[in-house]
Chain A
Amino acid sequence: MEKSTEQKLLILLAEAGLEPREGDLERFGKIIDGYVATLKTLYSIDLEDEEIAPVFHAEWTQK
């Protein structure tokens, strides 16, 4: 796992009063790095003025 990601995760866990299960950081290093890379792809698009409120209306796109 990327060192910066590991440090961030440990801080977040500590803030929540938690410790990772033994071996988890090694075991999940690859998926966590893949996920962090995926998070960055979310910003590859210009969403202009798109907002979030419509997603909470089930009927929003019903004709």
Chain B
Amino acid sequence: MAAQEKPLFHLTINEAQKLIRDRALSPVELTRAIVERIEAVDGRLHAFVKLMADSAMTEARVAEADILRGSYKGPLHGIPLAVKDQLDVKGAPAEIRKRPPAVSEDSTAVRKLRQAGAVILGKLAMSGLPSDPPQARNPWNTDHVTGGSSTGPGAAVAAGLCLGALGEDTAGSIRNPASFCGLVGLKPTYGRVSRHGLAPLSWSLDHCGPMTWVVEDAADMLQAVAGYDPQDPTSSRAPVPDYRGALREDLRGFVVGVPRAYIEECRARTDPEVLALVDQAIRELESLGARIEEVSLPTLKLATAANAVIYYNEYFNAQKQDLPALIKTAATQRRARIYLGMLTGSADYIQAQRIRSRVKREFAEAFQKIDVIALPAQLGPAPKVNELDPLDTLYRHLAPEYVSPFNLAGLPTVVLPCGFSRNQLPIALQLAGKPFAETTILRAAYTYQQHAQLYRRRPPI
């Protein structure tokens, strides 16, 4: 047994990697503990749609043998991770694509995790799966949702059913569940992580990224999956920096932009608790050495609508081959998206893209004077499962909110906990940077995390 005080399923990647590297913890022991944890609590959380316990144990044994031979691959070697169903995993069904029983090839991001030595535990639930599995539950309070669409990753990482997960974000689908479940959720710059092997929702808005317990873990996972991929036509050749090496507890000289006018635009629909906790977090960034400046982004008020229009129209076109079946059998939200996409004319789509150009231009101008943008991530704490309407997400996309403007602009964005609501549900701070400035937002997030220490609090499950 490893010499640490907390249960193995509560280790962060950062903690587990030190123990594994020092041979104080075996990947087999860790993976077995996580599988046992899944078997013990996932019946209440519904995070996994495909648990691959046998292959995960085999991978853990290979990792252990490699490490004992002196062939340590790095921070993810022997670390049990899981993946949103939307990303292809060799040997597992791709339920969202309706490709049972199994696909024959890993998505690029999963392949890169394997190359880094990670143990793949299986596939995690997401909103809108054809089999309509039970709604994933929030480990902080199982009467509440996890947020979507990366529902399974949110529940799994928060409850210690994996040490980190890969999610996907088209209009907040990494950051919503990360916010609701008290995680770090990182949506990288568009083009930073390959989309090859990802079931498309919207080609120009889809982003793969990590969901983890702490910022260091997100940096390690991003390091593994970032980089050029000739199989993704939008993959960037921009150099991949040392994300982990950039983490320092220091905000001196940082300028944090706060889009006050935009937050006002969203205020009527935002829970006051969210606004108060994010305001407090911004003041804490200032106390840590950052300078706070108001930032003007006049077109941002149209960004959520433009994102929705592009999303639904690209979704409709991406699903065209399967439309006859989808109209008959798809989950409620997916059918609604098809009708909305169908009603979107070419003039609407182009107008939305022109707004996107304008929004990107305004962000670019703002980032000449500031390092990061700080704002809320969510309109409120996680709602109750029995209060959720499948169309709520679509209604949320019709008026300004905090997450989808960064899909539209393709900017790197991270969320992390900044407090808890009165009913003890997590609330998040969101930090965005200029394109490919993941090191900047991770450094700001890390400094805040080390100050706030909220990662010490775990869900009661």
Which residues 8-63 of A sit at the B interface, judged by CB distance below 8 A? 8-9, 12-13, 16-21, 24, 27-28, 31-32, 34-39, 41-45, 47, 50-52, 54-56, 58-63
Complex Cα gap A52–B349 (Å): 10
A interface residues, how many (CB within 8 angstroms): 40
Contact A5 B343 (CB under 8 A): yes
Q: Taking A52-B354, A58-B189, A59-B236 as contacts, is the C-beta distance between A38 and B343 under 8 angstroms?
A: no
Contact B339 A17 (CB under 8 A): no
Q: Taking A41-B302, A58-B190 as contacts, is the C-beta distance between A20 and B339 under 8 angstroms?
A: yes
Asked if B443 CB lies within 8 Å of chain A CBs, one says no
Contact A34 B398 (CB under 8 A): yes
CB distance from A49 to the nearest CB of B (A): 10
Contact A55 B302 (CB under 8 A): no
Q: Which residues of B contact A39 (CB under 8 A)?
A: 305, 309, 343-344, 348
CB distance from A48 to the nearest CB of B (A): 9
Q: Which residues of A contact B434 (CB under 8 A)?
A: 61-63
Contact A52 B344 (CB under 8 A): no
Asked if B200 CB lies within 8 Å of chain A CBs, one says no
Which residues 95-131 of B sit at the A interface, judged by CB distance below 8 A? none
Q: Which residues of B contact A34 (CB under 8 A)?
A: 395, 398
Q: Which of B84-92, B251-259, B323-331, B380-388 contacts A (4 or more CB under 8 A)?
A: B323-331
Complex Cα gap A16–B410 (Å): 32
Q: Which residues of A contact B367 (CB under 8 A)?
A: 61, 63
Q: Is the interface of B mostly helix, strand, loop or mixed?
A: helix
Contact B236 A58 (CB under 8 A): yes
Query: In chain A, what residue has the closest Cβ to B436?
Result: A62
Contact A9 B343 (CB under 8 A): yes
Q: Which of A8, A16, A20, A47 contacts B358 (CB 8 A)?
A: A47
Q: Which of B312, B343, B351 contacts A42 (CB 8 A)?
A: B351
Query: In chain A, what residue has the closest Cβ to B345?
Result: A39
Q: Which residues of B contact A24 (CB under 8 A)?
A: 335, 339
Q: Taking A9-B342, A20-B339 as contacts, is the C-beta distance between A51 and B357 under 8 angstroms?
A: yes
Query: In chain A, what residue has the closest Cβ to B298?
Result: A45
Contact A42 B348 (CB under 8 A): yes
Q: Which of A13, A45, A61 contacts B355 (CB 8 A)?
A: A45
Complex Cα gap A46–B192 (Å): 32
Asked if B276 CB lies within 8 Å of chain A CBs, one says no
CB distance from B301 to the nearest CB of A (A): 9
Asked if B356 CB lies within 8 Å of chain A CBs, one says yes
Q: Which of A31, A43, A55, A62 contacts B356 (CB 8 A)?
A: A55
Asked if B68 CB lies within 8 Å of chain A CBs, one says no
Q: Which of B192, B299, B327, B435 contacts A61 (CB 8 A)?
A: B435
CB distance from A13 to the nearest CB of B (A): 7
Contact A56 B204 (CB under 8 A): yes
Contact B343 A8 (CB under 8 A): yes
Q: Which residues of A contact B394 (CB under 8 A)?
A: 31, 35
Q: Taking A38-B305, A62-B434 as contacts, is the C-beta distance between A51 and B360 under 8 angstroms?
A: no
Q: Taking A21-B327, A58-B435, A61-B363 as contacts, is the C-beta distance between A52 and B353 under 8 angstroms?
A: yes
A9-B343, A34-B395 given. 19 additional CB < 8 A pairs? A28-B391, A31-B394, A32-B343, A39-B305, A42-B305, A42-B355, A43-B351, A45-B302, A50-B355, A50-B357, A52-B353, A55-B353, A55-B360, A56-B204, A58-B190, A58-B191, A59-B238, A60-B360, A61-B361
Q: Give chain B's interface residues, CB within 8 Å of chain A.
A: 189-192, 204, 234, 236, 238, 299, 302, 305-306, 308-309, 312, 323-324, 327-328, 332, 335-336, 339-340, 342-344, 348, 350-358, 360-361, 363-364, 367-368, 391, 394-395, 398-399, 410, 434-436
What would 9 A/B residue contacts be, using CB atoms closer than 8 Å?
Answer: A9-B342, A21-B327, A21-B328, A31-B336, A35-B398, A47-B355, A51-B357, A55-B204, A60-B360
Question: Which 9 pairs between the two chains have the least Cβ-Cβ distance?
Answer: A58-B191, A61-B364, A52-B353, A62-B435, A58-B236, A42-B351, A50-B354, A55-B356, A38-B398
Q: Give chain A's interface residues, CB within 8 Å of chain B.
A: 5, 8-9, 12-13, 16-21, 24, 27-28, 31-32, 34-39, 41-45, 47, 50-52, 54-56, 58-63
